Structure 1
């Protein structure tokens, strides 16, 4: 429909004109080290599939005031091109949107909402653990919990290369923890794969920490992912990782408003930040890694504030009950 293409166009314009640092998919690896292949076999790359709008080439007229606003923006963004809305078909609006997305005037740091969007952790042969805000429209209207729009890439190391260890899995269900209208509360989600996973040396589940286990501040844990390597930088093609200390609640950034089932880690120049959202924070316990947290949010990256992580221990009952009933 015409409105679909128009809304997509307006969303792109709003993205271009926005300079705020909202919640978003705002966690990435900063100051990290390049990982070796198979070092984090439970790490999952969650890819969003681009869906082409189903539109008909039927002329229609936009309100004059809206046309003037969009034309003014286009003239400023593309001074060398005569781009005007005027009277357009939905198909033409779609082509214009593609111009907006591919033009050099569009920041390369803006999300394209396709390809790698978030990380997750394989916790058994058919379930992946991630963050609610990766799929929640309360984070961004372009996100979705429609399972058909996502794939889980297992055994991945290089996002652009193939080494034979990768396995792509369709997703049958995405279950976000309530409340759905509050992103920062219970920021956890479960993803059910369409088919069970065949474990290999490069694809293996991570054990989850239990409420009976205690981790003291100062304990060094690890976070890995493909996120940006510097604040407002570019995404890493290969997995990077960092080792960071757990922080006490009093050492958390007060502006992050950490709740009962969250904790903080980092606080130095190494941090997890954009496109690492949903990935696991893992700690060594008796020589074996187990997952303690999920990358959730933070203020800036690697600037001394520390990141906020969803505490797996406080949600273990929900995880087990949700998997059992689905």
Structure 2
């Protein structure tokens, strides 16, 4: 259940998707990942779900493929949740006023898989709802770095979605591994992350969640690689940081701070 919100059955299954459940992970301490967001996407008779993360009181980052659905009726972001099936008093449910998908996003190969969602109202920053800093343009992770991925996705290939937030430790891999598995892998805009023994992975329901390294979001769970359980491909946030900053300014010309919990 950790990683990406893969979309099967009730989810939208994309031809290049392969990540979505957190396998080999653990339940996190209640509300210890206050930046996590749960996306409820209503479209016709088949709702879908994805992960995301709060980067400003009025803005959530996620994967573009989560929003690449025809006739979306509404999107609701749930913040401050641990058990998503409970009506926890810590939860804030906020409708999404609109979203911006990267103009060069490609659903066929998962390139530029990033979306910025504008909340209809600003989240109230509390101990259970906080922003997370994103990697800046010059910041990169390297092979061997240990990061974490969180989500409410499946905990096994055939299991159900998790009610509670799960997390898994995952290691950044040499990019040659993903390049050998997929000709669509791009070093500049993607990160190759996984477990060589296939014991730890993401699963359906985790898509859009953050790859957190040294307390910063460096990646967005995007898709699997080469049809294998692992490694997974994450959108490289540092590559898109200038675009993110530009779009945030279009959301609001006034500076919006996550103070006192985040810069």
Which interval holds the TM-score relative to the shorter structure?
0.7 to 0.9
Counterpart for residue 225 of structure 1: 151
Instruction: Give the 5 Å matches for 1:45-60.
Output: 45-49=38-42, 51=44
Does 2:130 align with 1:207? Answer: no
Cα deviation for residue 239 of structure 1 reads 0.5
Q: 1:131 aligns with which of 51, 63, 75?
A: 63
SS state at 1:274 partner: coil
SS state at 2:99 partner: strand
Cα deviation for residue 319 of structure 1 reads 0.4
Cα deviation for residue 251 of structure 1 reads 2.4
Cα deviation for residue 48 of structure 1 reads 1.6
CA 145–244 in structure 1, closer or farther in 2 if over 3 Å, else same: farther
State the alpha-carbon separation in 2 of the partners of residues 323 and 314 from structure 1.
Answer: 16
Q: 1:279 aligns with which of 195, 209, 215?
A: 209
Cα deviation for residue 300 of structure 1 reads 8.1
Higher relative contact order (CA 8 A, sep 6+): 2
Q: Is the 8 A contact 1:296 1:310 kept in 2?
A: yes
Task: Count matched residues.
Answer: 236
Q: Deviations over 1:270-311 (max 9, x none)?
A: 111211000101011xxxx100000000048984x3110000
Instruction: Give the 5 Å matches for 1:156-175.
Output: 156-175=81-100
Instruction: Give the 5 Å matches for 1:110-129.
Output: 113-114=46-47, 117-129=49-61
Q: Which has the larger radius of gyration?
A: 1
Q: 1:27 aligns with which of 15, 20, 24?
A: 20
State the alpha-carbon separation in 1 of the partners of residues 160 and 225 from structure 2.
Answer: 18
CA 209–323 in structure 1, closer or farther in 2 if over 3 Å, else same: same
Cα deviation for residue 31 of structure 1 reads 1.1
Counterpart for residue 260 of structure 2: none
State the alpha-carbon separation in 2 of the partners of residues 298 and 210 from structure 1.
Answer: 25
Cα deviation for residue 43 of structure 1 reads 0.4
Counterpart for residue 258 of structure 1: 185
Q: 1:149 aligns with which of 74, 80, 100?
A: 74
Cα deviation for residue 159 of structure 1 reads 1.7
TM (norm. structure 2) is 0.82
State the alpha-carbon separation in 1 of the partners of residues 33 and 164 from structure 2.
Answer: 12
Unaligned runs of 5+ in 1: 1-14, 53-112, 137-142
State the alpha-carbon separation in 1 of the partners of residues 96 and 103 from structure 2.
Answer: 20
Q: Is the 8 A contact 1:30 1:302 kept in 2?
A: no
CA 29–320 in structure 1, closer or farther in 2 if over 3 Å, else same: same
TM (norm. structure 1) is 0.67
